Amino acid sequence: MTPHYWQLILYKTRADLKMEAARGYMGMLWWVLEPVLYMGAFYIIFAVALQRGGENFVPWLLTGLVAWKWFDTSVRMSLTAIMSGKGLMSQVYLPKVFFPAVVILKNSVKFLVTLVLLMAFMLIYGLPLSWSWLAVLPLLGLQLLLISGVGLTFAALTPLWPDLKLLMNNVLMLMFFLSGVFFDVSQLHGWLAWLLSLNPMVHVIQAWRDVLLHGQWPDMLKLSYVLILSLAMLALGQYLLKRWDRLYPRLA
Amino acid sequence: MNPVLTLENVGVAYRRGRSPWRGEPYWALRDVSLTLRQGETLGVIGRNGVGKTTLLRVIAGIIEPDKGQIRNSGVSASMLSLQVGFVPLLTGRENAILSGMLLGAPKNRLEAHMEELVAFAELEEFIDEPVASYSAGMRARLGFSVAMQADPDVLLIDEVLGVGDVAFRKKSSDEIHRRIRSNRSVILVSHNIGMMRDLCDRVVWIEKGVSKMQGKAGQVLDAYEAATRRSS
**Domain identity same for B145 and B164:** yes
Of A72, A80, A233, A76, which Cα lies nearest the Cα of A152?
A233
**Domain identity same for B132 and B194:** no
**Domain identity same for B132 and B157:** yes
What are the residues facing B31 on neighbouring strands? B210
B103 interface with A at CB cutoff 8 Å: yes
pLDDT of residue A52: 66
**Domain identity same for B227 and B175:** no
For residues B53-65, give the mean pLDDT: 93
Q: What is the CATH number of the domain that holds B38?
A: 3.40.50.300
A114 to chain B nearest CA, in Å? 25
Given a cut of 80, is residue B7 above it in pLDDT?
A: yes
Q: Which of B51-55, B126-130, B176-180, B206-210 has the highest mean pLDDT?
A: B126-130
User: CA dihedral defined by B91, B93, B95, B98, rounded to 10 degrees?
Assistant: -140
- Region label for B85, one of left (φ > 0), alpha (ψ between -120 and 50) or beta (otherwise): left
Closest CB from A4, A22, A250 relative to B20: A250
Q: How far apart are CA B56 and CA B91, in angstroms?
A: 31
Nearest residue in chain A measured CA to CA from B87: A19
Domain that includes residue A237, residue range: 3-250
pLDDT tens for residues A35-94?
889 888 887 887 777 776 677 888 898 999 999 999 999 999 999 999 999 999 999 999
CA B157 to chain centre: 2
Q: How far apart are CA A138 and CA A197, in angstroms?
A: 21
**Single-letter amino acid, residue B161:** L
Q: What is the DSSP string of B39-77?
A: T-EEEEE--TTSSHHHHHHHHTTSS--SEEEEEESS--E
Q: Cβ contacts of residue A184 below 8 Å, gap of 6+?
A: none
The mean pLDDT of chain A is 91
pLDDT tens for residues B168-177?
999 998 999 8
Contacts of A4 in chain B (CB under 8 A): 101, 104, 106-107
pLDDT of residue A104: 98
What is the total count of domains within chain A?
Answer: 1
Of A88, A136, A95, A78, which Cα lies nearest the Cα of A7?
A95
Domain that includes residue B104, residue range: 80-181
**Domain identity same for B69 and B13:** yes
Longest dimension (CA), chain A: 57
For residues B22-27, give the mean pLDDT: 83
B13 interface with A at CB cutoff 8 Å: no
**Domain identity same for B173 and B87:** yes
Given a cut of 80, is residue B1 above it in pLDDT?
A: no
Given a cut of 90, is residue B106 above it in pLDDT?
A: yes
Given a cut of 70, is residue B110 above it in pLDDT?
A: yes
Residue A137 belongs to what H/E stretch? helix A136-157
Write the DSSP symbol of residue B203: E
Contact B168/B136 with Cβ under 8 angstroms?
no
pLDDT of residue B148: 92
The pTM assigned to this predicted structure is 0.91
pLDDT of residue A53: 64
Contact B116/B133 with Cβ under 8 angstroms?
no
pLDDT tens for residues A228-245?
999 999 999 999 999 999
Q: Kindly report the number of other CB atoms within 10 A of residue B118's CB atom.
A: 21
Contact B130/B91 with Cβ under 8 angstroms?
yes
pLDDT of residue B161: 76
Q: How far apart are CA B50 and CA B196, in angstroms?
A: 18
pLDDT of residue B67: 94
**Domain identity same for B196 and B221:** yes
What is the total count of domains within chain B?
Answer: 2
**Domain identity same for B42 and B127:** no
Name the band, by pLDDT with cuts 50, 70 and 90, for residue A186.
confident
pLDDT of residue A252: 63
A36 or B50, greater pLDDT: A36
**Single-letter amino acid, residue B184:** R
B47 or B69, greater pLDDT: B69
Q: For the sheet containing B3-15, what is the strand order? A: B67-72, B3-15, B25-37, B210-216, B202-207, B41-45, B185-189, B154-158, B77-79
Q: How far apart are CA B67 and CA B55, in angstroms?
A: 13
The mean pLDDT of chain B is 91
Closest CB from B60, B89, B101 relative to A93: B60
**Domain identity same for B96 and B130:** yes
A220 to chain B nearest CA, in Å? 41
For residues A169-185, give the mean pLDDT: 88
3-class secondary structure, A5: helix
pLDDT tens for residues A190-226?
888 888 889 999 999 999 999 999 999 999 999 999 9
What are the residues facing B216 on neighbouring strands? B202
pLDDT tens for residues B135-147?
999 999 999 999 9
**Domain identity same for B68 and B105:** no
Q: How far apart are CA B23 and CA B204, in angstroms?
A: 31
Q: How far apart are CA A6 and CA A193, in angstroms?
A: 40
Q: How far apart are CA A66 and CA A48, in angstroms?
A: 20
pLDDT of residue B154: 95
pLDDT tens for residues A18-34?
988 887 777 778 888 88
Q: Kindly report the number of other CB atoms within 10 A of residue B65's CB atom.
A: 22
Given a cut of 70, is residue B44 above it in pLDDT?
A: yes
Signed CA dihedral, B186, B187, B191, B194: sign only: positive
Q: What is the DSSP string of B79-95?
A: E--SSTT--TTSBHHHH
**Domain identity same for B38 and B102:** no
* B89–A7 C-beta distance less than 8 A: no
**Domain identity same for B52 and B125:** no
pLDDT of residue B5: 94
